[in-house]
């Protein structure tokens, strides 16, 4: 049994944050129907990975475990079909710019009249209200305004370092949307009705900065790039180049781990200066560590320190998916596909002992499930042919 079996989700999103959210729900049993415009309707599907060639499509995990339905929501018959789908749905996720769903007549207010139990989630950059709500944006913009990008980099004098779109799109957006949807489903069991879930990626990023805001709110200190406890300001929590041009990460936050490192390198005199604000002592420690780590390879340092010092090899993606811990945790799996053969996918990150998630199918082709879904709604085969001729599906 999967924990979300029997939960029906309509996914109107295209850009990556929405599909990752519904991928998580689908992995744990939700029936997710991804809805997008038919190609013939003349509506852009440029952002849809379902448009990719077969091999590229099935390797993309964001659409696995889902059904695909094409539906022209600008046409009245298409809207009527969506309303019928909504009657039996538990969750709707949309990633339109604010106001688009209302113009289409598929916003929360419209759908909740049809189905008061619906949990309707809007996922956007800045949220559904406020002075920025209508502004265009992407991950880099949201982490900029949330204050996260300004803290990432080597030093206050160097430009901010742009991370992958993991912070706003996926952690601030996708995962917060998953949490919001699940909370609303739990609340529905108590209050007897669904509700509207407004997820803004900028809100999610600021939530993730909770620990970093402590000194600012308490003391008025603004964290600086490369100068803070956890962003490269101290020798005990940093990245060092090794003899083979690799890199090793050291994360000695606790005093005893720092002591272990200093003893392993023969510099016990550095032990009292783990969090020293003395710039000269900091630079002396940095200089020693940088020179010392250049004397062995990345893997040699890892083997030497791994049991007594928090350390990690800085991997390429290829190395990460060959690592024994990653493989043991089944974070890379192979799924059989009738045409593409064995397809590698990322595994399921959330491990439930009693009701674990499962990859049941790989990404569908656009419209693969049009007929199946429409027949379940009571449409006849002749009616389906008519809808197709009218470019509704």
* Given 107, 139, 169, 370, the catalytic residue: 169
Phi and psi at residue 126, in whole multiples of 5°? -115, 0
Whether the Cβ atoms of residue 50 and residue 44 lie closer than 8 Å to each other? no
Per 3-state DSSP, the chain is made up of helix, strand and coil in percentages (nearest 5) of: 40, 15, 45
User: How many angstroms from the chain centroid is the CA of residue 57?
Assistant: 18
Q: Are strands 341-346 and 332-337 parallel, antiparallel or unpaired?
A: antiparallel
Tell me the backbone φ, ψ of residue 94, rounded to 5 degrees.
-130, 150
Give Cα 341 to chain centroid, integer Å: 27
End-to-end CA distance of the chain: 33
305 neighbors 311 (Cβ within 8 angstroms) = yes
Nearest one of 25, 194, 8 to 90, comparing CA atoms: 8
The H or E element that residue 141 is part of is helix 139-146
Cα–Cα distance, 45 to 128 (Å, whole number):
23
Which two three-digit tokens encode residue 220? 């008025």
Q: Which residues pair with 250 in a beta bridge?
A: 238, 311
Which of 18, 120, 45 minimizes the C-alpha distance to 367? 45
- Per-residue tokens: 241: 């180049």
Give residue for tokens 């089944």: 330
Give the gyration radius of the chain's Cα atoms.
Answer: 25
| Angstrom distance (rounded) from CA 372 to CA 391 | 17
Residues listed for the chain:
393
| Catalytic-role residue among 76, 129, 134, 138 | 138
Catalytic annotation present for 138:
yes
Question: Residue 365 in contact with residue 39, Cβ under 8 Å?
Answer: no
Is 278 an annotated catalytic residue? no
Q: How far is CA 149 from CA 152, 165, 221, 223, in A?
A: 5, 11, 17, 11
Residue 158: Cβ-neighbour burial (10 angstroms; 0-12, 13-18, 19+): exposed
Catalytic residue positions?
A: 138, 169
């Amino acid at each position: 049994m999967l924990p979300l079996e029997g939960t029906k989700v309509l996914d109107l999103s295209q850009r990556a944050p929405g599909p990752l959210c519904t991928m998580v729900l689908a992995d744990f049993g939700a029936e997710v129907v991804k809805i997008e415009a038919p190609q013939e309707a003349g509506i852009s599907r440029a952002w849809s990975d379902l448009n990719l060639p077969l091999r590229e499509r099935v390797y993309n995990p964001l659409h696995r475990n889902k059904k695909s339905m094409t539906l022209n929501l600008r046409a009245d018959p298409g809207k009527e079909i969506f309303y019928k789908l909504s009657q039996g749905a538990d969750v709707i996720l949309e990633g339109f710019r604010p106001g688009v769903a209302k113009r289409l007549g598929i916003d929360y207010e419209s759908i909740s009249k049809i189905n008061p139990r619906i949990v309707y989630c809007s996922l956007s950059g800045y949220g559904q209200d406020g002075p920025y709500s209508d502004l265009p944006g992407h991950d880099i913009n949201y982490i900029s305004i949330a204050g996260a990008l300004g803290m990432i980099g080597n030093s206050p004098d160097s430009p901010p370092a742009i991370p992958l779109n993991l912070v706003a799109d996926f952690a601030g957006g996708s995962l917060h949307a998953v949490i919001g949807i699940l909370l609303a489903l739990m609340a529905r069991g108590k209050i007897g009705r669904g509700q509207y879930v407004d997820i803004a990626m900028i809100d999610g990023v600021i939530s993730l900065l909770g620990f970093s805001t402590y000194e600012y709110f308490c003391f008025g200190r603004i964290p600086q790039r490369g100068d803070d406890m956890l962003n490269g300001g101290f020798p005990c929590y940093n990245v060092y180049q090794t003899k083979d041009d690799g890199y090793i990460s050291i994360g000695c936050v606790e005093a005893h781990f720092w002591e272990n490192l200093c003893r392993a390198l023969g510099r016990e005199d550095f032990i009292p200066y783990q969090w020293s604000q003395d710039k000269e002592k900091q630079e002396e420690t940095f200089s020693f560590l940088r020179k010392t780590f250049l004397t062995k390879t990345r893997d040699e340092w890892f083997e030497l320190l791994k049991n007594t010092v928090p350390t990690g090899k800085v991997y390429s993606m290829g190395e990460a998916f060959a690592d024994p811990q990653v493989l043991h945790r089944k974070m890379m799996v192979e799924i059989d596909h009738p045409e593409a053969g064995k397809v590698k996918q990322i595994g399921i990150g959330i491990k439930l002992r009693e009701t674990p998630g499962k990859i049941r199918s790989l990404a569908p082709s656009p419209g693969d499930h049009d007929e199946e879904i429409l027949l379940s709604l009571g449409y006849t085969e002749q009616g389906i042919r008519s809808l197709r001729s009218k470019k509704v599906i």
